[in-house]
Structure 1
Amino acid sequence: MTIIASPNTEWLGPLPTSWSVTTVRALVEDINIRNFGGKNENYLSLMANIGVILYADKGDVGNKKPEDLSKCKIVKIGDLVINSMNYGIGSYGISRYEGICSPVYLVLRTKSDVGDQNFVRRIFEIPQFQRLAQSFGNGILEHRRAIGWDSIKNLPVPMPPLDTQQKIAAFLDRETAQIDELIGKQERLIELLAEKRQAIITHAVTKGLDPNAPTKPSGIPWLGDIPSIWETKRLKHIVAMRSGESITAEDIESIGDYPVYGGNGLRGYTSAYTHEGEYALIGRQGALCGNVNLARGQFWASEHAIVPTPRIQISVHWLFHVLKWMNLGQYSMTAAQPGISADAIGGLPVPFPSFDEQQKIADYVERQTRTLDRLTVAASSAIQLLRERRSALISAAVTGKIDVREGVA
């Protein structure tokens, strides 16, 4: 092994004696070609742990597509695209598309005459390298420091002989494909569990628990029949839709006496509270507006959350499941900051059983979904372990900690 003595090469560790160290700019070039005239409209986006995707497939989360596409960067198939602010948390990918991306992204292209392109791309997957690169960026938050080409072009990277690069690339292609297949199976399991969970909730809150109960038309086309002893009520007649109280970011800490709930759920903690009891909170603003969280005890509900406050006797747990079933995110208004109008969702009709039946429905749903939730947690943990294994394998192979030369057919 060769020991490299330099502050920025610590992430490499000892390298095999036949290897050398070069710089990022020796292996890739910065591509800064703009979409003049806005002719290319195929806008691409990045998602951590997923990579480069079509903007149309991203959904209503994250940054919005700019109106002026002329400033966007051109991306070719095989280009490495890096989110300059989120690279340290894995927001990067190899593009499978021809298109354009945000001008704040880095677009890098491997130099075909220097090394094996697949090996070179693997360097950028290593978490230690990602964190090193992000440390040279500008910004207050460590994981969101904006990096540029000048920040990373002189960073040291390993340079094994070409035949070794090719063997490492082939080894990693094979091994990571197997890991990715296992991850895909766990992700599909989570999807199936979520579908099963939703089906249980939907049937319980719209049809009740007695399969032999007589039914009647609800009068709502998309709802269909409901049990004949149920009513339909507009949400605003069941609960008062009130927004929470304003709170500044400076008043929210990572630890504290009382939890703070915002548009996307738990935001942190503070020293005071606005509510006491049990409430089903609705996210009013943010990328995940429409999501529903159950808050208990003493807590602060921020202005980005709607606090449905019962006007009549209801089961809060039943209300929680009804609100989840309603998929309130579909009623968000398109804007720079997605949001939900309390008045708009307050006018929505819901099937309304008796208080006693509400409690039974809530108990049933929670019993039935408890096992599904445990299985979901287990699958998520398995995915995390597989991703860690994948990263560790890439790091070890690319920095010469494991010898793969005899393991490649």
Structure 2
Amino acid sequence: MTATQETRLRYLYSPSGEANHPHEEVLSVYRDHGVIPKSSRSDNFNKTPDNIERYLLVRPGDLVVNRMKAWQGSLGVSDHRGIVSGDYEVLRPASDSVSGRYMHYALRSRHMVGEYRVRSTGIRPSQWRLYWDQMGDIRVSLPPLEKQERIAAYLDAETSQIDTLITEQQRLVEMLRERRISVLRSAISGVACGGSIGGSDDWFGSLPEGWGAAPIRRHFSVNLGKMLNANKDEVEGAEAPYLAAGSIQPETLLLDEPKTMTFSSPELEHYSLRSGDVVVVEGGAGYGRSHYLRQDLPGWGFQNHVARLRSSTGLVDGLFATYCLKACLASGHIEANNRTATIPSLSRDVLGAIRIPVPPASDQRQIAKYLEEQTARIDTLIAESERLVELSQERRAALITAAVTGQIDV
């Protein structure tokens, strides 16, 4: 082969189907990392089953495709020997005219991932599958072997530098998030005034002299929102927007595209949302998230997976209480008190029983102001680092696509 050709994948690879061998290392396929040992990642929570008879052997140079996530780019040429789930496609090189490293880049490039999307079958993305019969028809640009190896070497060098930058920024984001948690816990525990995060049975630790502690229900009424209407036509009242659990994000409130349900006039008064209220996610993936309302939301209600805290004594500032809840969530105390076996939740009783520090009112305001300033600074740094990671990943993808499609001369 002396010039770049368009070649169907079926002429370059063929299904292996080689059964697993005893005591082989289990491999996983990642969109960002390709084929790597499963044990090398701490974020892989899919347990390997006891029965691995259907697992397939992977040899170095094999192309491994996660059929369910190929449309996201979850495939790669393996540098490792090991075994993968029988739900994956293991493809062995059928031609000596391909470089494994080049194919690893070429098959994970943007335009190829677009081909996988088009050829995947299923009703919705979560059910899409890419099978070899469809994948094998895809054409790939294949220059001479020597040029493939030059392109792969170029991309190895360039992407290595980008990956180092991405790793450094991700590490910085992790450190900033840890710093944010530390600032929260130290401030609401009164460390600067003689308090301590340890030395007490309470999750917040020991408190300075003159500070108290109390369960949330002592200073706030705790109410869950209205159950979503099963049949709106059978409910009397008027349609009104409601605050959903998904609207309460870690550091913001999403109100742009509200859903509605029917509230009677007394219900809308009962489920009202006012400046100074604290809203907390009661159930689901984001349970425990909280947000302080700085203004009234006239005409709004809230659903049953949201809890509203409204001051009943005036002795605890709502913003200070919100920072207490954020620190409580970050400390793991809320998760430790989740007694639900299936869908995680924070019941009204558990939420009301959470103990929080109660400093003098002037200290509460000072702490809340300090935390607003400090967390805003940290959040800005986190956003900048995450944006740099995003731009670097886009640059990496664009570079790979340009190199394997001949848009740049390597």
TM-score (norm 1): 0.74
Summarize the Cα distance change of 1:32–1:219 in structure 2 as closer, same or farther, 3 Å threshold. Answer: same
SS of the equivalent of 2:119 reads coil
Deviations 1:345-395 (A, max 9, x none): 544433222344323211110111212211111111111111111001100
State how far apart, in whole Å, the 1-side matches of 2:132 and 2:223 are.
48
State how far apart, in whole Å, the 1-side matches of 2:74 and 2:229 are.
28
- TM-superposed CA distance for 1:74, in Å, is 3.8
SS of the equivalent of 2:376 reads helix
Summarize the Cα distance change of 1:319–1:224 in structure 2 as closer, same or farther, 3 Å threshold. Answer: closer
Summarize the Cα distance change of 1:206–1:103 in structure 2 as closer, same or farther, 3 Å threshold. Answer: farther
Deviations 1:158-182 (A, max 9, x none): 1111101111111100000011011
Q: Do 1:19 and 1:160's aligned partners in 2 also have CA atoms closer than 8 Å?
A: yes
Q: Which AA in structure 2 matches 1:282?
A: V
Alignment of 1:29-108 (within 5 A): 29-30=14-15, 48-49=31-32, 54=38, 57-58=42-43, 65=47, 69-70=51-52, 73-74=55-56, 76=58, 80-92=63-75, 104-108=87-91
Question: Residue 360 of structure 2 aligns with which residue?
Answer: 354
362-371 or 17-26: which moved more? 17-26
Question: Residue 406 of structure 2 aligns with which residue?
Answer: 400
Question: Residue 270 of structure 1 aligns with which residue?
Answer: 259
Summarize the Cα distance change of 1:66–1:234 in structure 2 as closer, same or farther, 3 Å threshold. Answer: farther
- Is 1:176 equivalent to 2:159 in the alignment? yes
Question: Residue 206 of structure 2 aligns with which residue?
Answer: 225
- Is 1:282 equivalent to 2:281 in the alignment? yes
Deviations 1:117-136 (A, max 9, x none): 11111122212211221122
Q: Which of 325, 328, 339 is matched with 2:327 structurally?
A: 325
Q: Which AA in structure 2 matches 1:389?
A: R
Q: Do 2:20 and 2:57's aligned partners in 1 also have CA atoms closer than 8 Å?
A: no
- Is 1:153 equivalent to 2:136 in the alignment? yes
> If you compute each CA radius of gyration, which structure gives the higher value, 1 or 2?
2
Aligned length: 377
123-132 or 173-182: which moved more? 123-132
Summarize the Cα distance change of 1:96–1:165 in structure 2 as closer, same or farther, 3 Å threshold. Answer: closer
Summarize the Cα distance change of 1:66–1:126 in structure 2 as closer, same or farther, 3 Å threshold. Answer: same
State how far apart, in whole Å, the 2-side matches of 1:177 and 1:245 are.
53
- TM-superposed CA distance for 1:270, in Å, is 1.2
Deviations 1:105-152 (A, max 9, x none): 444455573411111111222122112211222234468633222331
Q: Do 1:34 and 1:70's aligned partners in 2 also have CA atoms closer than 8 Å?
A: no
Q: Do 2:27 and 2:37's aligned partners in 1 also have CA atoms closer than 8 Å?
A: yes
SS of the equivalent of 2:122 reads coil
Summarize the Cα distance change of 1:66–1:289 in structure 2 as closer, same or farther, 3 Å threshold. Answer: farther
TM-score (norm 2): 0.74
- Is 1:118 equivalent to 2:101 in the alignment? yes
State how far apart, in whole Å, the 1-side matches of 2:99 and 2:145 are.
7
- TM-superposed CA distance for 1:40, in Å, is 7.1
State how far apart, in whole Å, the 1-side matches of 2:6 and 2:231 are.
45
- Is 1:19 equivalent to 2:4 in the alignment? yes
- Is 1:365 equivalent to 2:371 in the alignment? yes
State how far apart, in whole Å, the 2-side matches of 1:68 and 1:340 are.
34
Summarize the Cα distance change of 1:216–1:198 in structure 2 as closer, same or farther, 3 Å threshold. Answer: closer
- The answer for unaligned runs of 5 or more in structure 1 is 1-15, 405-409
Q: Do 2:321 and 2:356's aligned partners in 1 also have CA atoms closer than 8 Å?
A: no
Alignment of 1:374-385 (within 5 A): 374-385=380-391
Question: Residue 188 of structure 1 aligns with which residue?
Answer: 171
Summarize the Cα distance change of 1:188–1:93 in structure 2 as closer, same or farther, 3 Å threshold. Answer: farther
Summarize the Cα distance change of 1:102–1:334 in structure 2 as closer, same or farther, 3 Å threshold. Answer: farther
Q: How much is the aligned-residue C-alpha RMSD, in angstroms?
A: 4.2
Q: Do 2:4 and 2:142's aligned partners in 1 also have CA atoms closer than 8 Å?
A: yes
State how far apart, in whole Å, the 1-side matches of 2:93 and 2:248 are.
39
Summarize the Cα distance change of 1:20–1:198 in structure 2 as closer, same or farther, 3 Å threshold. Answer: same
Q: Which of 98, 119, 143 is matched with 1:136 structurally?
A: 119
- TM-superposed CA distance for 1:90, in Å, is 4.1
State how far apart, in whole Å, the 2-side matches of 1:28 and 1:275 are.
63
Summarize the Cα distance change of 1:221–1:142 in structure 2 as closer, same or farther, 3 Å threshold. Answer: closer
SS of the equivalent of 1:21 reads strand
